[in-house]
């Protein structure tokens, strides 16, 4: 176990180490495993690099991830509740159609999605980066599975008080679903933050680059700064790493419960 832990941590250590070394030290085969000095001025160089808009990329990724998370949770929660608790004729057909979308790789559908976004003149815009990521079959599926196990007694009490489906949802269901909302919010935020293919395609202007696209451009410039590449990667993983670490127990508990619930 110690060996496995070491092998797992080693790449992260090398990434952090190289981020605080000079370019010559990174490329030197004789550089020490534990550096004798750390160059914290690399952080200033990274944020002031005129060729790579690192700060703008961080801001764009944060805005896109937050908006996408909010929209995805709202829409998928409503869809999951409707599929689980509101009886209508085509509920199962719609549900299995949503499941079928999970089997289609994004690489297959990104071209027609791009055509639609381009037709709407959303290329290199905030809405073009956010809206396609709002709709998630995976999130809808987990919400539906969770709501299938929601106590019927609470809903019946709401109906006795004169509430309809809309009132029951907002006044009873949502306040008692904070666990899965928090868990899926973390998953959605991480997915939005790590997204690369779609932002690369749709963000054609430098002002629309996300942090993942910014990092990829370190390898495309004529002067490759490896220490900046490593340091930018370290900084870029901090938001989702801290989020997933703080909510790890909650994620495991809620996802296992939701996934184990079958159709009633």
Q: Tens place of pLDDT for every residue, the chain, 264 residues?
A: 888 888 888 888 988 998 888 888 888 888 888 888 888 888 888 888 777 888 999 999 999 999 999 999 999 999 999 999 988 888 889 999 999 988 988 888 888 999 999 999 999 999 999 999 999 999 999 999 999 989 989 999 999 988 888 999 999 999 999 888 988 898 899 899 999 999 999 988 888 999 999 988 877 655 677 888 899 999 998 887 777 766 666 666 665 665 555 444
Can you say whether the dihedral through the CA atoms of 73, 76, 79, 81 is positive or negative? negative
Domains of the chain: 50-260 (1.10.3720.10)
**pLDDT score, position 263:** 45
CB-count burial class (<10 Å; 0-12, 13-18, 19+) for 262? exposed
**pLDDT score, position 260:** 59
Q: Any idea of the CA torsion for 77, 255, 107, 114, to the nearest 10 degrees?
A: 20
**pLDDT score, position 57:** 92
Buried b / exposed e over 163-195, threshold 16 CB at 10 Å, is beeeebbeebbeeebeebbebbbbbbbbbbbeb
Can you say whether the dihedral through the CA atoms of 155, 159, 161, 166 is positive or negative? positive
Q: CA separation (Å) from 38 to 178, 229, 260?
A: 43, 16, 48
Distance CA(35)–CA(12), nearest Å, equals: 15
SS3 23: helix
Q: Which of 13, 11, 18, 54 is nearest to 39 (CA)?
A: 18
Q: How many helices and strands (H and E) does the chain possess?
A: 15, 0
* Structural Rg of the chain based on CA atoms: 23
Question: 134: which residues sit within 8 A by CB, 6+ positions away?
Answer: 68, 71, 72, 75
pTM of the model: 0.84
DSSP state of 169: I
Distance CA(136)–CA(131), nearest Å, equals: 11
């Amino acid at each position: 176990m110690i060996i496995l832990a070491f092998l797992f941590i080693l790449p992260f250590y090398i990434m952090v180490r190289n981020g605080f070394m000079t370019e010559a030290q990174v490329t030197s085969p004789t550089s020490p495993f534990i550096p004798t000095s750390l160059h914290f001025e690399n952080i200033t160089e990274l944020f002031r690099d005129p060729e790579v808009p690192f700060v703008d990329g961080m801001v764009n990724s944060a805005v896109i991830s937050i908006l996408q998370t909010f929209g995805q949770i709202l829409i998928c929660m409503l869809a999951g509740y409707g599929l689980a608790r509101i009886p209508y004729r085509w509920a199962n057909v719609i549900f299995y159609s949503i499941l079928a979308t999970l089997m289609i790789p994004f690489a297959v559908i990104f071209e027609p999605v791009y055509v639609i976004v381009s037709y709407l003149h959303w290329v290199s815009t905030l809405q073009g980066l956010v809206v396609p990521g709002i709709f998630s079959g995976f999130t809808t599926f987990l919400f539906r599975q969770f709501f299938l196990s929601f106590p019927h007694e609470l809903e019946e009490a709401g109906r006795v008080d004169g509430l309809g489906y809309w009132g029951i949802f907002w006044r009873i269901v949502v306040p008692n679903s904070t666990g899965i909302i928090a868990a899926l919010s973390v998953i959605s935020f991480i997915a939005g933050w790590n997204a690369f293919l779609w932002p690369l395609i749709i963000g054609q202007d430098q002002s629309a680059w996300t942090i993942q696209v910014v990092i990829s451009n370190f390898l495309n410039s004529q002067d490759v700064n490896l220490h900046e590449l490593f340091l930018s990667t370290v900084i870029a993983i901090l938001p989702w790493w801290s989020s997933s670490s703080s909510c790890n127990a909650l994620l495991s508990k809620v996802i296992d419960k939701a996934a184990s619930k079958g159709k009633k």
